[in-house]
Structure 1
Amino acid sequence: MKMYKGKGKKADVWVSVVIYTLIGITAIGLILVALQPRINEARDGITIKQTIEAMHNFDSALRSTLIAPGNKRVLELKLGEGEMQIDSENDMIVWSMKSSRKYSEPGFEIREGNIISLTEVGNPWKVTLKLKYDGLADLTYNGQQQIRILQKAGKSYSLSIENLGSVPGQVPAVDINQRA
């Protein structure tokens, strides 16, 4: 039987390469597992801030229609996470999502401009943002008192907000429509 010199050394090098590669991949995997909760918290925090900005834009558009009957605004609204309710029965807009980040003190409503935020205890947390228009506008969706839920979507929602006027002594009727 002949022995080839050097064959064992080459095999040892390849075994070492495979072992070190597996150790490196395992270390990267462990680091990612440890960092995943922090990454999710940061992502949820960014989503909440973007949603607050979008709700400020919605509020600004709606309030600008209140200046005079016939005023109409078109708003592009992107929902990356959570869901948005157009609750014309209670004259409010509500956005909520489950979050790995506690946005505010749990159980306490906090006002940020016209937006009311609430964080509810849970695993995950439930963050809710509200715009209330009772006493300011009588909201309808497609001309009806109803609740319309907008879900997370890949594309923006195009919403039309129009002041339909008012009867003396009453708040203006504001209709919200989803455009095609």
Structure 2
Amino acid sequence: MKKSGQIWIETVLYTLIGLALIGISLAIITPRINAARDKLLVEQTIESLGILDGKIDEVARNGHGNKRVVEEFIMKKGEMYINTNENKIIFNLTGLSKPYSEPGASINKSRVEIISWNTKKGAVASLTLNYKNIVIIDTEDSGANEIKKFNAAATPYRFSIENMGKNPPDTLERIRIEETSGR
């Protein structure tokens, strides 16, 4: 009887040690996995904004009436704002496990400006395309709403980008961005 009791105690003890090791491993690995996932999310957002910027640049260069479509603009997390007052497209990613870059410092990847900071609910990365003195950004309803907001969605957005030409006294091309995915 003593031996079978000892075997059960050893089994329970080894099981507890194994569970403790698994718990410690998860506690160490999970933050690193989350940080890598967040970094990948920011990199994918930079790439998506780069594609959008390329279409805007192409439309601006090819003159009045030129039109391009961004077929799949994927937004799984965050919010995008088209600010027609400041000629900016801003993409905010909230709830990151750590800042993408040094908090408060501005870094540039091609035309995308990235600023990160910490909040009580996690880090935030703000990615901005600034078109000041390049083109005038317009939306289909910019007269009624100066800032157009797009939320994360399970299905990709579809954007139509069109060169509306120059309206005197403007010296810059007016680029209209319309969301055409039927939301």
**TM-score normalised by the chain length of structure 1:** 0.84
2:68 is equivalent to residue 73 of structure 1? yes
Residues 74-153 of structure 1 correspond to what in structure 2 (within 5 A)?
A: 74-75=69-70, 76-98=72-94, 99-123=96-120, 124-145=122-143, 146-153=146-153
Note the C-alpha offset of 1:16.
4.0
- Runs (4+) of structure 1 exceeding 6 A deviation are none
What residue in structure 1 maps to residue 161 of structure 2? 161
2:175 is equivalent to residue 174 of structure 1? yes
Question: Given that residues 104 and 117 in structure 2 are in contact (C-alpha distance below 8 angstroms), is that contact kept between their aligned partners in structure 1?
Answer: yes
SS at match of 2:164: strand
Deviations 1:107-148 (A, max 9, x none): 222222211111224452321111011222221222424212
Question: Given that residues 79 and 152 in structure 1 are in contact (C-alpha distance below 8 angstroms), is that contact kept between their aligned partners in structure 2?
Answer: yes
Note the C-alpha offset of 1:168.
4.9
Deviations 1:30-78 (A, max 9, x none): 2112222211111111111111111111100111111211111111211
Unpaired stretches in structure 1, ≥5 consecutive residues:
1-6
Identity %: 31
Q: Which amino acid aligns with 2:147?
A: I
Q: How has the CA–CA distance of structure 1 residues 141 and 168 changed in structure 2, closer, same or farther, with 3 Å as cutoff?
A: closer
Question: Given that residues 83 and 152 in structure 1 are in contact (C-alpha distance below 8 angstroms), is that contact kept between their aligned partners in structure 2?
Answer: yes
Structure 2 distance, partners of 1:138, 1:111, is 21
Question: Given that residues 91 and 126 in structure 2 are in contact (C-alpha distance below 8 angstroms), is that contact kept between their aligned partners in structure 1?
Answer: yes
Unpaired stretches in structure 2, ≥5 consecutive residues:
none
Q: How has the CA–CA distance of structure 1 residues 82 and 103 changed in structure 2, closer, same or farther, with 3 Å as cutoff?
A: same
Select the residue among 44, 48, 67 that pairs with 1:50. Answer: 44
Q: Quick check: which has more Rg, 1 or 2?
A: 1
Structure 1 distance, partners of 2:39, 2:2, is 55
Structure 2 distance, partners of 1:32, 1:116, is 34
Note the C-alpha offset of 1:157.
0.9
Structure 2 distance, partners of 1:133, 1:9, is 79
Task: Name the Cα RMSD after superposition.
Answer: 2.2
